[in-house]
Amino acid sequence: MVDLKAQYQHIKAEVDAAIGDVINNTAFINGPAVGEFQKDLENYLHVKHVIPCANGTDALQIAMMGLGFKPGDEVITASFTYVATAEVIALLGLKPVLVDVDPLTFNIDPVAVEKAITDKTVAIVPVHLFGQCSDMEAIMDIAKRHNIHVIEDTAQAIGAEYIFKDGSRKKAGTMGIIGATSFFPSKNLGCYGDGGALFTNDDELAAKIRMIANHGQRVRYYHDEVGVNSRLDTIQAAVLKIKLKSLDNYAAARNKLASAYDTAFAATDKLITPRRFANSTHVFHQYTLQTNGIDRKEIISFLEANQIPAMIYYPVPLHMQKAYLDERYKTGDFPVTEKLCATVFSLPMHTEMREDQLAHIIKTVLEFTNR
């Protein structure tokens, strides 16, 4: 699905030297590269504060701890997403409130969000799924009218830009009170292990988030709050600092590949190509097709038999996951999500696809749909 080895070959000398430096200086924890990467990312995103942490799931958890949510508070998120979003809500004793998504963009439906708001709602967590922003102008408007927070899960959309009606632009993760991201190796900005970060423009909140991520201490060995231990390793920061310089080029390569897929698959009505949302750029974390009258299992087996990996993100809606079964929800409650979980599959999408590989994938897919 990704070719991280080929990508590494292009930056090998720089990465090896940077990792070597960290080891030579034994600066494994909070070494200089962590602060340098933080500054570089703040500049790239035009955001006041980046707070690095250990992974994307921690970033979401720390965001909700930082905002002081209390057990029983309701947090609205999409039923079609990776489990991490709902997991941290449940872990903190908050109540996940699920809503359906838009059938074309796969992102949370603002109309459904508004309907789900109660007097217990404290936040909306839009997930910018597969690489493009949710309808943030509508979501921010709802949040403002109801005086609730927006935490953006931007693990799949770092570098994407939201385009407001007045033409102004903001980077994914910098519109809500907090943005949370992941640097998992296969993410668009991936390190060589685990990593994550939070973004905010709020000074006070940034200080609180830093404290929570550091055992709840501002001064060493004085603990004002129950916190967690969540740090970005210096080695990972050193890698990320190098890869950040190429992030926009990586997104361009992904877009080029997506356009080639789009053009090729316009030839068949048995596949629905991913729709671009007019108010966001797309960074194509995934290229996700929907089957239309063909058997998904069969096309995936056919691809696999031709050495082409294909993945299903995600096969089971959150409200049908064993750990998240809830008497409030039953099969049929989120028809768009349920249909997507039954029909989507993603093709290889990365920054190093060769022409011959692309041609082989396209030929094989069309061979299946044309038979």
Ligand X SMILES: *Cc1c(COP(=O)(O)O)cnc(C)c1O
82 near ligand X, judged by CB under 6 A = yes
Interface with ligand X: number of residues (CB under 6 A): 15
**CB 218 to ligand X: min, Å:** 26
84 near ligand X, judged by CB under 6 A = yes
Residue located via tokens 């992904």: 254
81 near ligand X, judged by CB under 6 A = yes
- For the beta carbon of residue 289, count every other beta carbon within 10 angstroms: 22
**CB 119 to ligand X: min, Å:** 28
Residues between 143 and 202 with contacts to ligand X, criterion CB under 6 A: 153, 155-156, 182, 184, 194, 196
Separation CA 169–CA 192 (nearest Å): 30
369 near ligand X, judged by CB under 6 A = no
105 near ligand X, judged by CB under 6 A = no
Residues between 55 and 74 with contacts to ligand X, criterion CB under 6 A: 55-57
The residue within the footprint of ligand X, chosen from 45, 76, 108, 127 (CB under 6 A), is 127
Cβ–Cβ under 8 Å, residues 158 and 130: no
**CB 5 to ligand X: min, Å:** 20
55 or 236, CB closer to ligand X? 55
Separation CA 41–CA 202 (nearest Å): 16
150 or 299, CB closer to ligand X? 150
55 or 174, CB closer to ligand X? 55
Q: What are phi and psi of 187, to 5 degrees?
A: -70, 170
287 near ligand X, judged by CB under 6 A = no
34 or 155, CB closer to ligand X? 155
Cβ–Cβ under 8 Å, residues 290 and 272: yes
Q: Which residues pair with 162 in a beta bridge?
A: 170, 280
85 near ligand X, judged by CB under 6 A = yes
Residues between 196 and 235 with contacts to ligand X, criterion CB under 6 A: 196
- Written as six digits, the tokens of 266 are 């316009």
**CB 155 to ligand X: min, Å:** 3
- Written as six digits, the tokens of 71 are 């057990």
Burial category of 20 from C-beta neighbours within 10 Å (exposed 0-12, middle 13-18, buried 19 and up): exposed
Separation CA 185–CA 351 (nearest Å): 13
**CB 94 to ligand X: min, Å:** 16
Contacts (Cβ under 8 Å, ≥6 apart) of 129: 78, 80, 81, 101, 106, 107, 156, 157
Cβ–Cβ under 8 Å, residues 370 and 350: no
- Cβ-proximal residue to ligand X, closest one: 56
83 or 366, CB closer to ligand X? 83
Helices 247-265, 234-244: axis angle to 10 degrees equals 60
Contact set with ligand X (CB under 6 A): 55-57, 81-82, 84-85, 127, 153, 155-156, 182, 184, 194, 196
